[in-house]
Amino acid sequence: MLSGGERGRVALAKLALEGANLLLLDEPTNHLDLPSQEVLQAALAEFPGTILLVSHDRYLIDALATQIWEVSPEEHSLGVFIGGYAEFVAARQKRDPGRSTRPVKEPSRPVVRSADRQLRADLAAAEERIARLEAELAEIARRLEHAGVDVDRVRTLGQEYASIERNLNDEFSAWERLAKRGQRPA
């Protein structure tokens, strides 16, 4: 009873509820109207995991892609370009000026640039590492409380604690650098 677009929205909603960290999407905007495409783009931009996207929607690709995989059937090859779609097109035009490629126009709908998406993903990963290290410190502190008078055990746990604390400080510094990068004016 559902249309193609409605089925697509239900499938994406189910994926979001399952906590997936990898999305494989084949032409996800085909059956969506413009407002639904914008909502999908915003949701995908916030997705913390990896997205493998096959699409002819250049606006969506330009907004989300941090890598472009170009399949060349003639050469039986797969080329990987690190960067967004507009950068990919410019690099390909420079490499092969005779190749016909339609230029990328600025999208008429608002987009979240791939660099912004990558920054958010990097911040989220740093926050996950910080949380993990904080949990490890709490566990070592708990074990230290129960170590009693076992000097060797206390020393070993103390060294582990100090090592993890150094790693945690490094992660906080990395997070701060990323956060500052995100505060720069465009």
| CB neighbour list of residue 63: distance below 8 Å, 6 or more residues apart | 41, 45, 107, 111, 112, 113, 114, 117
What pLDDT was estimated at residue 186?
45
Number of domains in the chain: 2
Summarised one tens digit per residue, pLDDT across range 77-92 is: 888 888 888 888 888 8
Same domain? 141 vs 178: yes
- For residues 168 and 137, the answer to whether their CB atoms sit within 8 Å is yes
- Which residues span the domain enclosing 70? 4-112
Same domain, 20 and 94: yes
Segment 18-40 mean pLDDT:
81
DSSP 101: -
Alpha-helix residue ranges (DSSP H) falling in 23-150: 34-46, 58-64, 85-95, 114-145
83 and 160 both lie in a single domain: no
d(CA 43, CA 16): 10
Final residue in a domain of this structure, among 55, 87, 112 = 112
Considering the domain architecture, whether residues 124 and 51 belong to the same structural domain is answered as: no
Position with higher pLDDT, 20 vs 133: 133
3 state DSSP class of 109 = coil
- CATH no. for residue 68? 3.40.50.300
Alpha-carbon span 100 to 107, nearest angstrom:
20
Same domain, 80 and 132: no
pLDDT at 174: 87
Mean pLDDT of the chain, nearest integer: 80
* Higher pLDDT, residue 167 or 1: 167
Note the pLDDT tens digit of each residue in 110-166. 555 566 777 777 888 888 888 888 888 888 888 888 888 888 888 898 899 899 889
**DSSP three-state, residue 84:** coil
Domain boundary residue among 79, 112, 145? 112
Residue 113 has a pLDDT of: 58
Verify that 170 and 100 share a domain, yes or no.
Answer: no
Among 97, 112, 127, identify where a domain stops. Answer: 112
